[in-house]
């Protein structure tokens, strides 16, 4: 009886472990290079830019339809800004970008639903009571809308 020895082809356990370890190391390097924290912060800042632009456009559409008058909730005090939101107090300590007054500017009744679907809120910390966006009418009559707490030392505001 002749025994025929066959050599089965395949990978050894050691070879498989080495390949898996190499892939894991490369994946770790790629993740560190991409810096997901920074990427997520930039994504949230992009949303803030979009929200600020949306709010500004809605305010200007309102002004166009109302003979240049801004919504009544936007005060005429030029030295301070107002945080957008429904809260009546406590908003003077929540905005790090500018000095704000304690009471929020509730633009919901003036802008929703005719000019905007809803007042946007900050993607990280915004609520209806405190959207973390602010509005200000300057001494020259221009309107400034901005984000209270942008990430990565960004400055997000629009003046028109």
Distance CA 67, CA 138 (A): 18
Q: What is the pLDDT of residue 87?
A: 93
In a domain, 7, yes or no: no
In a domain, 75, yes or no: yes
How much of the chain, in percent, has pLDDT values that exceed 90?
A: 72
In a domain, 5, yes or no: no
Judged against a pLDDT cut of 70, whether residue 4 lies above it is answered with: no
Its domain, for residue 103, covers 34-159
In a domain, 14, yes or no: no
Question: Mean per-residue pLDDT for 86-92?
Answer: 90
Distances (CA, A) of 114 to 42, 110, 118: 31, 8, 10
Q: Find all residues with CB under 8 Å of 149, minimum gap 6, and list them.
A: 95, 96, 97, 122, 124, 125, 132
Q: What is the pLDDT of residue 58?
A: 97
In a domain, 44, yes or no: yes
In a domain, 82, yes or no: yes
In a domain, 16, yes or no: no
Number of compact structural domains in the chain: 1
Q: What is the pLDDT of residue 77?
A: 84
Q: How many residues does the chain have?
A: 160
In a domain, 8, yes or no: no
pTM given for the model: 0.80
């Amino acid at each position: 009886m002749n025994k025929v020895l066959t050599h089965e082809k395949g990978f050894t356990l050691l070879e498989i472990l080495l390949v898996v370890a190499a892939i894991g190391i490369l994946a770790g390097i790629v993740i560190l290079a991409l810096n997901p924290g920074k990427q997520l912060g930039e994504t949230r800042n992009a949303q803030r830019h979009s929200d600020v632009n949306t709010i500004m456009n809605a305010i200007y559409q309102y002004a166009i339809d109302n003979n240049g008058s801004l919504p009544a909730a936007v005060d005429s005090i030029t030295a301070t800004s107002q945080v957008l939101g429904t809260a009546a107090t406590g908003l003077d300590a929540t905005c790090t970008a500018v000095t704000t007054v304690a009471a929020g500017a509730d633009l919901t009744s003036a802008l929703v639903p005719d000019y905007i679907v809803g007042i946007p809120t900050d993607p990280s910390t915004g609520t209806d009571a405190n959207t973390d966006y602010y509005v200000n009418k300057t001494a020259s009559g221009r309107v400034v809308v901005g984000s209270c707490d942008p990430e990565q030392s960004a400055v997000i505001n629009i003046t028109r």
